[in-house]
Structure 1
Amino acid sequence: MKEVVVTVHGEHEARVAPEEAVATLVVRAEGATREQVVSEVSAWTAPLRDELDSARAAGRVAQWSSDSVAVWSERPWNADGKRLAPVVHAAVNLAATFTDFGALSTWASEVIERDGVQFSGVEWRLSPLTRAALERSVAAEAVTVAVERATAYARALGLSDVTPIEVADAGMLTEDRGARAESARPLMARAAFSGDAGGADIRLQPTDVVVAATVDARFIAR
């Protein structure tokens, strides 16, 4: 046996503590008139904006944003199948990136008690610079795994040397393109939300961010 082509799969993942927490919430109101619901949503949103501005100035929040007020109406049906008077709805979405997780827990505990406020959840994540560096490192480790796997196959066949001829994101080797579309993105950052609510006190527990990479590689073993 002079040489053989070896095709392998390499993967690696890293788990690190999050650096940021993106909290999202919605302020909602409903009533008989547009003026009423817009007024209520505006009044309920104003203190949230002020608090987030103060938190950003103090360095507890990196940035925050909010949508303009969305307003719509509907005519619900009653139990007898008759249309009722129109009900007008209004909503504003807010998102804030916290770097101080203790401050986030305190703020969340307070805002969920307010009229019209629905706390949607938290996405734990890394800063862009940290994420980019970690993705590069994890991708390199995935290639190392592929090399080690190919070397093990070669030795099992009585061969001692492997030479790479193709390395690609999972599913992107020459004849595999399009065959595994779900694996075409090798780097994935997954985050989860966990909270423990007791009365008005919310304690948010950061969940590790997982960054994973998967590669396919082809070698000639001799």
Structure 2
Amino acid sequence: MSDVVITVRGEHETRIAPERAIAHLTIRAEGPERGAVVERMAALTEPVRDDLASRKSAGTVTEWSSQRVSVWSERPWNNEGKRLAPVHYATVDFAITFTDFAVLSWWAGEVAEREGVQLGWIEWKLTPETKAAVEREVATQAVGVAVARATAYAGALGLADVSAIELADVGLLTQPGTAEMAPAPRMLMAKASFASDAAGGGPSVQLQPEDIVISAAVEARFAAR
């Protein structure tokens, strides 16, 4: 009796709490005179830089960076359709990495109260070591699911001997020339929602990070006899 070829897919995913938080911050200034706007930007930025440098020295911030200042001008329109005098703008973006989320919550509430400061979004990440280890485990589990499915199908046919022929990421187990690149495993970044404490009593931001989802999917062919 010739071998029966069984083609299956195996998937697995896991959820893990983030270990790092990258806060994105923008400082913005605007006004009718370019020079004054740039000076205002520098005045708003200096205390933020000093605070971050102090936090890094204390170990509550692992790293931070800021891009160079962007300056541009626009001429707005009034309600009568006429162009007004130019308005100059200047912004600078910061990215700050925290490991202590309680410290991040307090810092976010404090910095959001400052003039010209806009707290953007929070990226939740894993350390490279954790990410690599979890990805290996998820990929291994996905292959295990594929093997279990193939074995179950073979058993339903009354076949007991199952051996692997091919194993590939999803989309690669196709005819030559039609393969679609599909990375596996993949990581879905966590999002964060946060709300300020309106009751007073000091700056506070309630962070609610979601778990990071890491998933893997494989396709495999087995010979059963």
TM category (shorter chain) comes to: over 0.9
Q: Which amino acid aligns with 2:103?
A: A
Equivalent residues in 2 for 1:54-93, closer than 5 Å: 54-93=54-93
Q: Distance in 2 between matches of 1:72 and 1:185?
A: 40
Q: Quick one: which amino acid aligns to residue 212 of structure 2?
A: V
Give the corresponding residue for 1:164: 164
In structure 2, distance between residues paired with 1:76 and 1:130? 50
Number of aligned residue pairs: 220
User: Using the alignment, how far apart are the partners of 1:144 and 1:176 within structure 2?
Assistant: 26
Aligned to 1:155: 155
RMSD in angstroms over aligned alpha carbons?
Answer: 1.6
Name the counterpart of 2:133: 133
Match of 1:116 in 2: 116
| 2:29 pairs with 1:26 | no
Counterpart residue number, 2:41: 41
Q: Which residue type is aligned with residue 28 of structure 1? A: R
Residue deviations 1:56-91 (CA, integer Å, cap 9, x gap)? 111111111110000111111112211111111110
Partner of 2:192: 193
Question: In 1, distance between residues paired with 2:63 and 2:185?
Answer: 25
Identity %: 55
CA displacement 1:25-53 (0-9 Å, x = unmatched): 11111111221111111111111111111
The letter for the 2-side match of 1:206 is: P
Contact conserved, 2:6 with 2:224, CA < 8 A, in 1? yes
Q: Indicate conservation of the 8 Å contact 1:27/1:91, yes or no.
A: yes
Shift of the alpha carbon at 1:176? 7.4
- Structure 2 distance, partners of 1:135, 1:177, is 28
1:195 maps to a residue whose letter is F
The match for 2:51 is 51
Specify every segment of 5 or more residues in structure 2 that has no aligned partner in the other structure, as ranges.
none
Q: TM-score, normalised by structure 2?
A: 0.92
- Select which of 213, 217, 220 maps to 1:217: 220
The normalised TM-score by structure 1 is 0.93
Q: Specify the SS of the correspondent of 2:213.
A: strand
1:133-186 Cα deviation digits (max 9, x unpaired)? 1111111111111111111111112211211111111111142765555xx022
